[in-house]
Structure 1
């Protein structure tokens, strides 16, 4: 049963908040900047309203998820910190002497209540509403880019993951108490996942029973992290391996295994839209969706600023049809692929690596350019070559790779009238002035990674990444609004 209103805090100790949490403390401002009751309204259909035991207030649990990303802690460690951190209790509208909820409530809330993508998009829309009400957003420009998040699991088997994490835990323990080398449970020798889960559980129980080790955060945090991985597996009956994560490329020589968050941001550095995808998706895959989502969230768009990935034919055509200026430097390989190669569906250009990527996510290994100055009578084109050994065993080879072929290529031809017009715009003074704003989104991506825990996932699966990303963006937007409002008040 879900309570239909929050209880008034009655405590003789409530005055302590006024003493220790200053008026300019960021968590006090985060508490006051928005009415969080909308969380209750959005989630009430996820609960039984008139039957069963009383549910813990979802607003408090949601606020804890905001802090989880900020503090980079496991569910257990966040709850433990909240027991003694008055700023956290203030943010949750708890009395100083109140107990924090059990950490398993937070885990279940994340998995069972926030499992609706529409709810996540509502969070982003709410921050735009706050910014508009305060008169913070004064432009109709969005800056677009994507940032990658590495999967915490990596492309490894469940047994490999458990082995690595348990090894890291043992190593930390040995640095503190070397005598534990003779006390540890016997390592499993089989390749049975249940044996490894049992071993990790025994290891956790043994170390947690030592009160002296409990004083060392380096040990307790690793114990809690390993336990969270094991419990996630037991509760969900799924592999610890992240089956939905994909390999993406930052350059021709570097790659990552995980996801991408494609974002649109105003020049005031308020994120107006976000789409989460697997790591193999090209940056420009969701350009139009970012524009439409920004508009749906209450932000008009007449200018889009992005790097060379956003100068593709479809983006320029969309901009022209909707009177949106596309401020993106033309990249010759984004123009279009081989118009005759209709059988090669899903090939995308990775602008960082300067290579095409096939449907299976494999990057070309070399490129050869034909025509141009040496052959002015021929159309300029570039042929991209793929590793044919991978094509032979590729699950997508039907209709793409001809059995017995010694090579696999993809040809790109240059450019259309549409892109010639974009080149002319690119050389204008207006374009150059607008393009100076693009650096802001690079700084925002860095902020999301370093300050809001988006460098690595803390769960598996695409929806888990969507939840992590949107809550991080929700919190980042509110903090940005607080910063701008504080500056405005000083002036």
Structure 2
């Protein structure tokens, strides 16, 4: 490895199990059973019990048991393979206890956001890679974690692994204030474009609200994303502009972290970020340099590496549940792609 730069990015991995409650699992399986029967005999609709409309698990179990009793009386119908399969699956689910049903969920996985409109349920792997495409550091976190917060760890791990780091290349998620300060203190060039909304550090609750660069919105401690934002103030005048982010107050009312964050009875919940035009003067000047522009061209390499991990080494879906299992899967996948790359570099010598 001759380069003294690392390229940083994060890739998401979906949890092996869906984010479904025991009641939702029962609803899904009873729905599939009814659908299989309707394809054979639509008149069965009139014989089925009334669907459960409550959120109580016991009521859903009772409905499913009634549905099973009705279907099992139809001897001809249950001889069809697709009906028998769905019927047996529902029966197994009903007879399983609640604890067993809940074990099918991945308790460590969390909801993360890829864009303002799309989300995923699972984990994130934060990666640092040399320009020679060797992964030098990685951190596996739950899906809701902010990319920028992992930069210091990735740099420190890369240095500990033996790499001399003079430049870090990343996207706007890594240009928050704390990262600029850290890299400057350590004489490292940060090649990451500034985003006025990523300049965290102007509110006391900065650890409770983190910026998601893909969605362009802030996410609260509970993992809820802002539903809209508005900019207040005029550009170029003495007073600084403010970006105000609005959250779904209905979610705030039932949030376990509402104490000290949401005032009971309030009709809105907002989080504001002051945009200070002079806070990143040096970084803005560096951003316009030829060195910055040239190094920015190297960032595509890590996107290709993420694609290799996902499509050639099945890193798009977790093989087991739990953060430890995801860390083991990440270690093996990264070891494999590094070994392949090392062998290829040896052949080129």
1:405 and 2:307 matched: no
Change in Cα spacing, 1:292 to 1:192, as seen in structure 2 (3 Å) is same
User: 2:302 & 2:130 partners in 1: Cα distance?
Assistant: 9
1:246 and 2:107 matched: no
- Which residue of the partner structure matches residue 139 of structure 1? 3
Which one of 163, 169, 186 corresponds to residue 305 of structure 1? 169
Q: Is the partner of 2:162 in helix, strand or coil?
A: coil
Q: Displaced runs of 4+ in structure 1, greater than 3 A?
A: 157-164, 178-193
- Which residue of the partner structure matches residue 125 of structure 2? 261
Which one of 190, 210, 228 corresponds to residue 348 of structure 1? 210
Residues 180 and 190 in structure 2, CA contact (< 8 A), matched pair in contact too: yes
Which one of 238, 248, 256 corresponds to residue 377 of structure 1? 238
What are structure 2's unaligned runs of at least 5 residues? 37-78
1:153 and 2:14 matched: no
Equivalences for residues 327-338 of structure 1 within 5 A: 327-336=191-200, 338=202
What are structure 1's unaligned runs of at least 5 residues? 1-136, 172-177, 198-232
Which one of 171, 174, 179 corresponds to residue 315 of structure 1? 179
Change in Cα spacing, 1:434 to 1:346, as seen in structure 2 (3 Å) is same
Greater mean alpha carbon deviation, residues 376-385 or residues 319-328: 376-385
Equivalences for residues 27-106 of structure 1 within 5 A: none
- Which residue of the partner structure matches residue 427 of structure 1? 288
User: 2:83 & 2:261 partners in 1: Cα distance?
Assistant: 57
**What TM-score, normalized by structure 1, do the two folds share?**
0.57
- Which residue of the partner structure matches residue 248 of structure 2? 387
1:474 and 2:335 matched: yes
The structural deviation recorded for 1:277 is: 0.4
Q: Is the partner of 2:96 in helix, strand or coil?
A: helix
User: 1:382 & 1:186 partners in 2: Cα distance?
Assistant: 54
Deviations for 1:20-67, whole angstroms, at most 9, x for unmatched residues? xxxxxxxxxxxxxxxxxxxxxxxxxxxxxxxxxxxxxxxxxxxxxxxx
User: 1:378 & 1:327 partners in 2: Cα distance?
Assistant: 29
**What TM-score, normalized by structure 2, do the two folds share?**
0.80
Equivalences for residues 201-220 of structure 1 within 5 A: none
Which one of 326, 340, 345 corresponds to residue 465 of structure 1? 326
Q: Which has the higher helix share?
A: 1
The structural deviation recorded for 1:337 is: 5.2
Instruction: Provide the aligned C-alpha RMSD in A.
Output: 2.6
User: 1:295 & 1:193 partners in 2: Cα distance?
Assistant: 54
User: 2:223 & 2:259 partners in 1: Cα distance?
Assistant: 16
